[in-house]
A and B are shown apart, each in its own frame.
Chain A
Amino acid sequence: MDKKEENEKIGVYVCHCGTNIAGVVNVGEVSTWAAENLKGQGVVISRDYKFMCSSLGQELIQNDIKEYGLTRVVVAACSPHLHEKTFRNACKGAGLNPYLCELVSIREQDSWVHTDKVAATEKAKAILSGGVSRVVYHESLEPLHVPIHPATLVVGGGIAGIQAALEIADAGFPVYLVEREPSIGGHMAQFDKTFPTLDCSACILTPKMVDAGNHPNITLLTYSEIEKVDGYVGSFAVTIRKRARSVVEKDCTGCGICWEKCPKKVVDDVFEAGMGERKAIYVPFPQAVPKYPVIDRVNCTYYIKGTCKACEKFCPTNAIDFAQEDEVMTVEVGNVILATGWDLFDARRILQYGYGRLPNVFTSLEFERMSNAAGPTGGSIVMRDGKTTPKVVGIVHCVGSRDKNYNEYCSSICCMQSLKFAHLVAERTGAEVYNFYIDIRTPAKGYEEFYHRLLDEGTHFVRGKVAEINDATRLPSEEGKLVIQVEDTLTGNQLRVPVDMAILSAGLEPRHDSKELAKLFGISCSADGWLIERHPKLDPIATMTDGIYIAGCVQGPKDIPTSVAQGAAAAARILGKIQQKEIALEPIRATIHEEQCSGCRICNNLCPFNAILFHEDRMVSEVNPALCQGCGTCVAGCPAGAISGTGFSNEQILSQINGLLLLNIPKKEAVKA
């Protein structure tokens, strides 16, 4: 390589990060070593400092840039994913092009993962040396500015999605709200009361649903699913399949005659959690938004046998259309919010709890529907026979959560949900209630107070993980009852608690298809299946992919207030972007040097974004920078070496390898034969 480094003045800054780095890596030694050994690379100043990211640390760099006329800066500190922007901005502030700064990670990749101080210090030197060798070949770059489409796609019409959609729509920008079910509302619509205030869930949710349904800026697409996502932040093209409702929306008045007349009853596994029935033509619940029903083609007699059409006969506005077809549309949006929520843990998986085998074992969602005044039992809490009021009820916490056999994580809402159940059972039936818990976790505003209220109400709390629920009775007092077998870990006693009804407080799981969702939008899932946020503390609503945000339980189990806050936060973030009208993108793009291109077209097929055009007339390929995402596959694939990758050029990478192997150090020190 040419002696480019001779013209460069590089500043090296080694961060202590308190003791995070300095506790393992001898930062002083690394800094002195760099000053001595990387001189030949152009290093003119090398310093170590307690916290480089602090304003004083940044000023240190800025002063050096001015005083020494630094042309490049290398900071050895944390991961570039954390502070690359910070140091780039510091350089920019001192008049140096921000892309002439390189951040190398000696914390995440070194001090935090190694214990041998000598080896860690040596590794830090090598990493730093790689960074210095690389930065020599950095180029001054300008971020790419692309226009941002003002519309936003919100996937999932639960409370998080509704909140996000309303915030953006209220600010005056268009929103497409896509929901898989026939109505928006999500899980919150199924609940009767919300903890800890015992607000009526429908009373606080339905006004928001109606707002979302009527809002001039919201295009509501229910009974619809996302099929394909193309593009990138600022201009996504999203293909949505609006499934055929078999009901013409513009003609339907939502009068309800069709589902009254429909002769076919179907067990409702979705909204009623299997507790109640609906018709083959139905709205999931009376306050559904939109009000138009859907014909469930799998169960409708007409679609099975070819006769019936009762709904069509009685419809006063001729709104039934049996031949209606799915509508596939493509919409342009600038940003996306994913708020697809959660699935309930399948309690059948824990055989010893007997759900599905013992009739009076209920899941939490079944109990929610049962306690709901609009639910299948009209709000009366009764056993599976539909009439007997239970006298003793056991509530089992942590079903499928905090259990290595199922889900290791805490579902976060089950304690409060169980306390709410305990309160509702006691209030409505006067039954004796037992809570079987591992730990009571009530860490939010008003939650602990609610727990104390339950303690005062006389609910029994037994600390222990339930071993088994069965109907094999041993004593006369257990006759006809379910027996909950548990060890009370506070007294060390084995208990057999006879109850009439057991409620399993089942945990929250990622949607069964969350991995497909993540793949569709090009983002990542954790091993559990929750979508991964950009930063667990500092950026819980953004994802690694620009323009894709997450809100609510799709990110991890959480309660309603947090879901609402995340929905609003994602909306605020997007509004900020939309109002800037354009967005700055990392200028990492591939460029083809026409004079070197042989026109072999190998790169054309390597590009998954169809960003490479072939000019038949000149027999050369060209990269469209608006479509190029900067992966660099074509750069590596070009047999003529005609493609260069900005930010990750061959020179930069080869030089970094040199540095990592300390080949840049004068021979006497480095390689010993």
Chain B
Amino acid sequence: MADTPENKPFEPVIIGFTCNWCSYRAADMAGTARMKYAPNVRLTRLMCSGRLDPTFVFKAFAGGADGVLVSGCHPGDCHYINQNYKAMRRFHLMKRVLVQMGIEPGRLKLLWASAAEGAIFAREINKFVEEVRALGPLHWNTNHGSQIADHVLLSVVNGQPSDEMEVKA
């Protein structure tokens, strides 16, 4: 993925999880207004940041992402009353887990962006891309020698851990 010849700056790959009602629309708005930002982020749409299963984040890191962006409605503005608070709780938990795994917590970012905040969305993405660029490539998938198989991950999400979970040395 991160094919980095010496002369080129490292281009991180970032997976972004956005909420259908606010941040995905902020991205739409940034687009409609032709606000420019770094092309390193690839977005996924969820109905709510509360839908974010922490496994999705780890899956993204495991699959080669150098950073993960989690984005939802501002506290108090959730389309589903207060589910973004649940995302916030999970976010802090995920940060701690990342540290325990030896991954810089700065690779995971939480961004509140309302549907009207295209400019903030674009600005924060630029900032985050630079932060992750400074951290360098993660290469979690290759550093671990083998990638965690999809069916193993899915079994984790679905609550049925399998024996294969132990990462082979």
Enumerate chain A residues within 8 angstroms of B27, measured Cβ to Cβ.
105, 108-109
In the bound complex, do residue A79 and residue B1 qualify as a contact, i.e. CB atoms below 8 Å apart? Answer: no
Q: Given that A654-B150, A654-B153, A660-B15 are known contacts, is A109 also in contact with B43, CB under 8 Å in the complex? A: yes
Enumerate chain A residues within 8 angstroms of B36, measured Cβ to Cβ.
113-115
Interface residues of A in 612-663 (CB under 8 A from B): 629-633, 635-642, 645, 647-648, 650-651, 653-654, 656-658, 660-663
Interface string of B10-50 (1 = CB under 8 A from A): 01010100000110110110111011110100111111101
Interface string of B78-116 (1 = CB under 8 A from A): 011111001000100000000000000000000000111
Partner of B115, one of A544, A630, A650: A544
Bound-state Cα–Cα, A632 to B79, Å:
12
Partner of B35, one of A113, A519, A608: A113
Interface string of B140-163 (1 = CB under 8 A from A): 011000010011011001111000
In the bound complex, do residue B83 and residue A113 qualify as a contact, i.e. CB atoms below 8 Å apart? Answer: no
Shortest C-beta distance, A470 to chain B (Å), equals 38
Shortest C-beta distance, B119 to chain A (Å), equals 9
Bound-state Cα–Cα, A369 to B150, Å:
71
Shortest C-beta distance, A243 to chain B (Å), equals 26
In the bound complex, do residue B32 and residue A544 qualify as a contact, i.e. CB atoms below 8 Å apart? Answer: no
Tell whether B124 is near chain A: CB-to-CB under 8 Å: no
Bound-state Cα–Cα, A663 to B142, Å:
13
Enumerate chain B residues within 8 angstroms of A631, measured Cβ to Cβ.
47-48, 50-51, 79-80, 83
Shortest C-beta distance, A647 to chain B (Å), equals 8
Q: What's the interface size class on A, roughly?
A: 35 or more
Enumerate chain B residues within 8 angstroms of A654, measured Cβ to Cβ.
55-56, 59, 150, 153-154, 157
Partner of B31, one of A107, A545, A637: A107
Enumerate chain A residues within 8 angstroms of B81, measured Cβ to Cβ.
522, 608-609
Enumerate chain A residues within 8 angstroms of B37, measured Cβ to Cβ.
113-114
Enumerate chain B residues within 8 angstroms of A105, measured Cβ to Cβ.
27-28, 31, 43
Partner of A608, one of B32, B43, B82: B82
Shortest C-beta distance, A635 to chain B (Å), equals 6
Shortest C-beta distance, B76 to chain A (Å), equals 7
Shortest C-beta distance, A625 to chain B (Å), equals 15
Q: Given that A130-B44, A532-B115 are known contacts, is A1 also in contact with B53, CB under 8 Å in the complex? A: no
Enumerate chain B residues within 8 angstroms of A660, measured Cβ to Cβ.
15, 42, 44
Tell whether A110 is near chain B: CB-to-CB under 8 Å: yes
Bound-state Cα–Cα, A631 to B35, Å:
29
Bound-state Cα–Cα, A262 to B64, Å:
78
Shortest C-beta distance, A293 to chain B (Å), equals 38
Enumerate chain B residues within 8 angstroms of A200, measured Cβ to Cβ.
none
Bound-state Cα–Cα, A661 to B56, Å:
13
In the complex, residue of chain A having the shortest beta-carbon distance to the beta carbon of B32: A108
Enumerate chain B residues within 8 angstroms of A127, measured Cβ to Cβ.
42-43
Enumerate chain A residues within 8 angstroms of B32, measured Cβ to Cβ.
108, 112
In the bound complex, do residue A671 and residue B116 qualify as a contact, i.e. CB atoms below 8 Å apart? Answer: no
In the bound complex, do residue A632 and residue B31 qualify as a contact, i.e. CB atoms below 8 Å apart? Answer: no
Q: Given that A114-B36, A114-B39, A650-B53 are known contacts, is A661 also in contact with B63, CB under 8 Å in the complex? A: yes
Partner of A648, one of B24, B39, B47, B55: B47
Tell whether B3 is near chain A: CB-to-CB under 8 Å: yes
Enumerate chain B residues within 8 angstroms of A648, measured Cβ to Cβ.
46-47, 51
In the bound complex, do residue B154 and residue A670 qualify as a contact, i.e. CB atoms below 8 Å apart? Answer: no
Tell whether A672 is near chain B: CB-to-CB under 8 Å: yes
Bound-state Cα–Cα, A315 to B85, Å:
55
Tell whether B164 is near chain A: CB-to-CB under 8 Å: no
Interface residues of A in 100-120 (CB under 8 A from B): 105, 107-110, 112-116, 119-120
Bound-state Cα–Cα, A79 to B82, Å:
26
Bound-state Cα–Cα, A366 to B165, Å:
74
Enumerate chain A residues within 8 angstroms of B157, measured Cβ to Cβ.
641, 650, 654
Bound-state Cα–Cα, A546 to B115, Å:
16
Enumerate chain B residues within 8 angstroms of A490, measured Cβ to Cβ.
none
Tell whether B69 is near chain A: CB-to-CB under 8 Å: no
Bound-state Cα–Cα, A636 to B46, Å:
11
Enumerate chain A residues within 8 angstroms of B64, measured Cβ to Cβ.
661, 663, 671
Interface string of A117-128 (1 = CB under 8 A from B): 001101100110
Bound-state Cα–Cα, A584 to B160, Å:
36
In the bound complex, do residue A81 and residue B28 qualify as a contact, i.e. CB atoms below 8 Å apart? Answer: yes
Shortest C-beta distance, A431 to chain B (Å), equals 43
Enumerate chain B residues within 8 angstroms of A645, measured Cβ to Cβ.
47, 51
Bound-state Cα–Cα, A460 to B124, Å:
49
What are 10 A-B contacts defined by CB distance under 8 Å? Answer: A108-B27, A545-B79, A608-B82, A633-B50, A635-B53, A636-B50, A636-B54, A636-B90, A650-B53, A653-B53
- 9 shortest interchain CB distances as A-B pairs: A108-B31, A632-B51, A633-B50, A641-B158, A641-B159, A608-B81, A631-B80, A631-B48, A636-B53
Since A116-B39, A127-B43, A658-B63 are in contact, a sample of 13 more A-B pairs with Cβ atoms closer than 8 Å, ordered by chain A residue number, is A1-B154, A108-B30, A112-B34, A524-B21, A527-B117, A606-B86, A631-B80, A632-B48, A633-B86, A641-B157, A657-B59, A661-B64, A662-B1
B interface with A by C-beta (< 8 Å): 1, 3, 11, 13, 15, 21-22, 24-25, 27-28, 30-32, 34-37, 39, 42-48, 50-56, 59-60, 63-65, 76-77, 79-83, 86, 90, 114-117, 122, 141-142, 147, 150-151, 153-154, 157-160
